[in-house]
Structure formats: C-alpha cells, structure tokens
Amino acid sequence: MDAACQDCHREIGWLKTERRGLHAREAGVRCATCHPDHAGTDFRLVEWTADSITRFDHRRAGYPLEGGHREVKCEGCHRQANRVGPAARMAPAGTKPIRWT
C-alpha cells in the first residue's frame, strides 16, 4: 500500500530519499498507521485536535525550534507561500494549502 500512496504523493518519496523531514525519520512506519485511506476530495489526511498542532515536537521532523523560532506562532512559517522547493513542486496537482512547508 505504501508504494500506491507514493505513486501520487511523490513529494513524500523524495523527502524520504533525501532523508528530510518527519516522513524520512519515520521511514519504517507504514502510511496507513497515521493516514487512513482517502475518502473524497475534502478528506483530511491528518486529523489535528484543537491544540495538537501547537504541541507538535519539531525535533521529530529534524528541525528543533530553537532561539527566536520558539517565539514564532505556527502560522508565521506554516503557510502556503512558504511551500517552495522540490518537494512542494512534486505534490499532487490541486493539493489544497496545508499548514506545513
């Protein structure tokens, strides 16, 4: 099933190959462990609770929030305008704005 996921989500495969981000650090975990299968175009692949975004441990993604980054609100960095680079360009067409880069 993981191969089928990465057929569309090529950016995740690229990040894993490049050893970047959360998915690379948790490479041995199957996609369905965290992400249930799609259920339509408005389906949320990650279900965040009200405060879970602000409590996310950035060390898991290889980017600890240190120095001034501790004081920046999540949306200060996690916005569509910051989705640039190779992985963002590989995301499936029509991908809705997400909160991380």
Distances (CA, A) of 50 to 31, 47, 53, 54, 99: 23, 10, 7, 9, 14
> pTM of this prediction?
0.66
pLDDT digits (tens, 9 = 90+) for 26-84: 878 888 888 877 776 667 777 777 677 788 888 888 889 999 888 888 888 887 788 78
pLDDT score for 66: 93
pLDDT attached to residue 95: 62
Burial degree of 30 (CB within 10 A; 0-12, 13-18, 19+): exposed
Residue 97 has pLDDT above 60, yes or no: no
